[in-house]
Structure 1
Amino acid sequence: MLGTRTAFAALLAVACAAPANAQSAPKRDEFYWLGEINKASAVINTDEGLLDPALAPRIAAGLDSMLKAAEKPGAKRPTLVITFEPLLIEAAGVEATLLHAGRSSQDMLATVRAAIMRDELLRLDERLRKVTATMVALAEKHVGTIVPNYTNGVAAQPNSYGHYLLGHVAGLDRDAQRLREAFARLDRSPMGTTVLNGTSWPLNRNRMASYLGFAETVDNAYDAAQIAAAELPVEVGALATSIALHAGAFIEDVMTQYAQPRPWILLAEGDGNTYVSSAMPQKRNPGLLNSTRSQASSVITAGIGRVIQAHNIPPGMSDVKSVRDNAAVITGTIAMLDGWDRILNGLVIDPARALEELNSDWTASQEVADVLMRKYKLPFRVGHHFASEVVDYAKANNIRPTDFPYAEAQRIYKATLKEMNVTGSELPLGEAEFRATLDPVAIIRNRTTAGGPQPAEMARMLALAKQKLAQQEQWTKERRGRIDTALAALDRDFGKVLERAK
């Protein structure tokens, strides 16, 4: 397993190479949010009588000039309160530190971190939704594609490939639920809690939360910077780990086909999906599968690293609070999801080859036991033993299911009943029914289980998956819209204070 620091280095490299956040300028980094906190403090404390209205316009003007200067290429954008404040004093005078009444670097930085991770989670949600939508579309395309499914690494039963994909969609839907739950816990403002237990200044915490786009405030002042600030990165790491586990499982399922001389599923060659071996001309190595799986391993290592860094430290320590490390976990997860989406779009599925593989093995044999029990009331274990004996004979004699001699099935059935002391003699399945029972396509069509691969259930589950995707998209739009609207209101009200400086 990669070391934690090695994993972070890998994810940070991805973060540095990735395009800037899909946010409107200016970039919402630590400096940006420290500026927003100071703007909100100027507006609120003036209105609440905590800041002299005669001083407020001059302080606001200095703050405004400082923030605009920082938008220029190469300008300083300090990330800490103690490095931000000297620039503010230089621009607005020492009176600007009046904004610091009832504040601490602890609650300010806890708020900055929460605001940044909140934006990052919304970015992650968009990518998670994109991969899920691609998978749903692929599932709809392959409702009638019958393929082998595997358990314990061995071909087990026939299934619709669309149904298989919807199983993965269900896992991603749980990840989306976890993301929304994590977001709700992150979407609480620590501002105004100061270090441990609040302040004697009557700060309006609810108004501060509203200006910064938070849904509510952290209730307990000690929790804000000491407990929640260290706990929430661990939850985000767990979310990233869960998504990466799902990605890795899917990729490994595809990878097993590359060991076969005639796979039924591969990546389309070229376009960065595959590459030719430097020594063996017949090989087409699945580079995209390998790189995406490697990215998933880095995400898992870094995600688990959040737990390791938070473990056995007293409340309030900064070990697990690094914005850079925590954001890298999400950026790495986004890069992994982008790779997964490319994989899904690059899959080449051969339904005829998949069906050939099913018919060359005995993945339909359980259906024989099921039909004997359901239709002819034979105890399942007896039917199972009969089917198992048929398979043993077939494999010993290299016989495919479509070619199995019906007379031999009759003989084995009689022997099974005798061995298990069950009355009866003749195999109740006629030859046509025996062969139909071993037809993988018919097996899928005749399933009746709720949540199964039969056409009616597939139509229901596809419709539900699309509905959930639409709801997920709406959820993201609403949260992003609320944050943007709040920040726009802050700019408007801060502008009113600035007007008085003219």
Structure 2
Amino acid sequence: MKLWGGRFTKPTDKLVEEFTASIGFDQKMAADDIRGSLAHVKMLGACGIIPQEDADTISEGLRGILQDVREGRFVFSVENEDVHMNIEKSLIERIGPVGGKLHTGRSRNDQVATDIHLYLRRETKQIIALVTELLQALTDSAREHQDVIIPGYTHLQRAQPVLLAHHLLAYFGMFARDAERLQDALKRIDILPLGAGALAGTTFPIDRELVAKELGFARMYDNSMDAVSDRDFVLEFLGASSILMMHLSRFCEEMVLWSSTEFGFVELDDAYCTGSSIMPQKKNPDVAELLRGKTGRVYGNLFGLLTVLKGLPLTYNKDLQEDKEGMFDTVETVKGALALFAGMVRTMEVRRERLAQAVKEDFSNATDLADYLVRKGMPFRQAHEVIGKLVLYCITQGKFLADLTLEEYQEHSPHFEQDVYAAIDVRTVVDARDVFGGTGSKRVQAAIERADKAISGLKDWVDEAMKVEPLD
């Protein structure tokens, strides 16, 4: 018989059981559910709502179930619908009817909301830790390749040369903002709904503050109806995860391009590539491609939950059972993606000779040539036109700017002098961007130092944040 079956006169149809059961996925929250129950029963005993002896017996039974869950011995059943009913029924079987007192003063509505908050709080912190590791990998690679210059692009056309370190640190900025977004999302995740009951609170004299303290929540929901129906915090997590995956996808696209024969800028480690079943020469950047593809999966989870929530009246509706699978999938996808990508960054080989050749075989120093004429007294718009015609001349002659003779330069403008060659040297061009946020060597070195400080701060934050998560 169902634990809620007193009002019913016939058993649930087997197809309905299978269709409505969530145990196939919500068992991921078993430890969180037990943790919430341990805090709840501790409060029940402390408030005298149930005898302390019963509270102790229930706690002991819950810890036994937790041990079985952790060691893979606990058997979940579809007939018991969800993780809550599975654990409560097992508890009653282990310790007798006293186990039924556990659910005093709460509902599955505030119970499941609490489980989700606990689960997502822990996993968000772990994702921030993984982002921190990726930031470290990017900074280490930037430091190692501070002397390497690569073509910078706009519209996927050669634009201006930049330090590879500067390019890597651009992604550092993106992922650092991702960490900030996730940290900010934690403010909405770190709220306790337990005590809201089904929707209106409870008639028992519970102590929500005690439970919040026991579970390490920063605050509690002010409104019981909001507490059981709110999934904004899940949406916010999915949104932040979608932006994070978008950043990974952009970088993966560049990895795919850079490792191609046409670019040849990097060689990805064999451990992050696969071969072809028919073409023996192939080395495919499958990890980068699959991470790029999984971005759409995370987007889908966000839009799926948005669609579920868009028409729900207050408070709890069974539709909300659809809040978990996409969340679980996103957590696993993002964690796997971050770990893989950090490894790919750490192991990629930068092809220095190819890059040195690449930055000599384009017109990405053209802007500096225009700036050269400006410093000689020519208005920029006129200088822009002169250099545009000079580039066109080079293309027709099969030359680059560094290949032109001084006479050829002076045919286009008398302002050109012998110092023009130093002005368009690729190293000069890069270091000329000596402004905050620019690609100049000194500025990039300072940016690496700032990145080191940011990573140190994030690591300290993660260490402190995780202290509230362990279950004794």
Q: TM-score, normalised by structure 1?
A: 0.81
Q: 1:190 aligns with which of 187, 190, 193?
A: 193
SS in 2 for 1:285: coil
1:330 aligns with 2:331: yes
How far residue 462 of structure 1 moved from its aligned partner, in angstroms, is 0.8
- Kept after mapping to 1: 8 A contact 2:44/2:55: no
- Kept after mapping to 2: 8 A contact 1:107/1:193: yes
Instruction: Name the structure 2 match of 1:22.
Output: none
Instruction: Name the structure 1 match of 2:443.
Output: 457
1:173 aligns with 2:172: no
- Kept after mapping to 1: 8 A contact 2:372/2:420: no
Find the aligned partners of 1:121 and 1:110 in 2 and give their Cα distance.
16
SS in 1 for 2:151: strand
SS in 1 for 2:267: strand
Higher mean C-alpha deviation, range 314-323 or range 472-481:
314-323
Instruction: Name the structure 2 match of 1:234.
Output: 235
How far residue 102 of structure 1 moved from its aligned partner, in angstroms, is 2.2
Output aligned runs, 1:306-385, within 5 Å: 306-315=305-314, 316-317=316-317, 318-319=319-320, 321-373=322-374, 375-385=375-385
Find the aligned partners of 1:66 and 1:444 in 2 and give their Cα distance.
62
How far residue 308 of structure 1 moved from its aligned partner, in angstroms, is 3.5
Q: 1:87 aligns with which of 84, 87, 90?
A: 90
1:248 aligns with 2:242: no
1:211 aligns with 2:201: no
Q: 1:440 aligns with which of 421, 426, 433?
A: 426
- Cα RMSD (Å): 2.5
Alpha-carbon spacing, 1:314–1:370, altered in 2? closer, same or farther (3 Å): farther
The code of the aligned residue for 2:404 comes to F
The code of the aligned residue for 2:294 comes to Q
Instruction: Name the structure 2 match of 1:498.
Output: none
How far residue 182 of structure 1 moved from its aligned partner, in angstroms, is 1.1
SS in 1 for 2:433: coil
Find the aligned partners of 1:402 and 1:54 in 2 and give their Cα distance.
87
Find the aligned partners of 2:371 and 2:75 in 1 and give their Cα distance.
72
1:257 aligns with 2:258: yes
The code of the aligned residue for 1:356 comes to Q
Higher mean C-alpha deviation, range 338-347 or range 474-483:
338-347
1:155 aligns with 2:141: no
Alpha-carbon spacing, 1:211–1:254, altered in 2? closer, same or farther (3 Å): same
Instruction: Name the structure 1 match of 2:390.
Output: 390
How far residue 106 of structure 1 moved from its aligned partner, in angstroms, is 0.7
Alpha-carbon spacing, 1:285–1:203, altered in 2? closer, same or farther (3 Å): same
Give the aligned length: 442
Residues 217-237 of structure 1: per-residue CA shift (max 9 Å, x gap): 22222221112xx22221111
How far residue 258 of structure 1 moved from its aligned partner, in angstroms, is 4.5
How far residue 116 of structure 1 moved from its aligned partner, in angstroms, is 0.9
The code of the aligned residue for 1:383 comes to A
Find the aligned partners of 1:54 and 1:134 in 2 and give their Cα distance.
53
Find the aligned partners of 1:456 and 1:76 in 2 and give their Cα distance.
61
Find the aligned partners of 1:362 and 1:43 in 2 and give their Cα distance.
72
1:125 aligns with 2:124: no
Find the aligned partners of 2:335 and 2:52 in 1 and give their Cα distance.
46
- Kept after mapping to 2: 8 A contact 1:359/1:401: no
SS in 2 for 1:466: helix
How far residue 193 of structure 1 moved from its aligned partner, in angstroms, is 1.3
How far residue 65 of structure 1 moved from its aligned partner, in angstroms, is 4.8
Instruction: Name the structure 1 match of 2:32.
Output: 33
Residues 194-220 of structure 1: per-residue CA shift (max 9 Å, x gap): 122322322111110111122222222
SS in 1 for 2:101: helix
How far residue 101 of structure 1 moved from its aligned partner, in angstroms, is 2.8
Residues 454-478 of structure 1: per-residue CA shift (max 9 Å, x gap): 2221222111111111111111111
How far residue 130 of structure 1 moved from its aligned partner, in angstroms, is 1.1
Instruction: Name the structure 2 match of 1:468.
Output: 454
- Kept after mapping to 2: 8 A contact 1:70/1:77: no
Higher mean C-alpha deviation, range 468-477 or range 341-350:
341-350
Instruction: Name the structure 2 match of 1:7.
Output: none
Higher mean C-alpha deviation, range 83-92 or range 451-460:
83-92
SS in 2 for 1:359: coil
How far residue 142 of structure 1 moved from its aligned partner, in angstroms, is 1.2
Find the aligned partners of 1:292 and 1:380 in 2 and give their Cα distance.
44
Find the aligned partners of 1:337 and 1:399 in 2 and give their Cα distance.
43
Alpha-carbon spacing, 1:360–1:57, altered in 2? closer, same or farther (3 Å): closer
Gaps of 5+ in 2: 1-24
- Kept after mapping to 2: 8 A contact 1:214/1:483: no
Higher normalized contact order (CA 8 Å, seq sep 6+, divided by chain length):
1
Find the aligned partners of 2:395 and 2:322 in 1 and give their Cα distance.
59
- Kept after mapping to 2: 8 A contact 1:89/1:95: yes
Find the aligned partners of 2:284 and 2:86 in 1 and give their Cα distance.
50
Find the aligned partners of 2:456 and 2:359 in 1 and give their Cα distance.
36
Q: TM-score, normalised by structure 2?
A: 0.86
Alpha-carbon spacing, 1:249–1:66, altered in 2? closer, same or farther (3 Å): closer
Alpha-carbon spacing, 1:274–1:33, altered in 2? closer, same or farther (3 Å): closer
- Kept after mapping to 1: 8 A contact 2:45/2:51: yes
How far residue 69 of structure 1 moved from its aligned partner, in angstroms, is 5.3
What is the identity percentage for the equivalent residue pairs of Structure 1 and Structure 2? 23
SS in 1 for 2:271: coil
The code of the aligned residue for 2:191 comes to R
Q: 2:465 aligns with which of 455, 479, 487?
A: 479
Find the aligned partners of 2:135 and 2:50 in 1 and give their Cα distance.
50
Residues 327-367 of structure 1: per-residue CA shift (max 9 Å, x gap): 22011111111221232123222233223222211011001
Residues 222-274 of structure 1: per-residue CA shift (max 9 Å, x gap): 221112xx222211111111111111111212322355446232324x33424
Find the aligned partners of 2:287 and 2:67 in 1 and give their Cα distance.
43
The code of the aligned residue for 2:426 comes to P
- Kept after mapping to 2: 8 A contact 1:197/1:221: yes
Find the aligned partners of 1:294 and 1:249 in 2 and give their Cα distance.
11
Higher mean C-alpha deviation, range 288-297 or range 455-464:
288-297
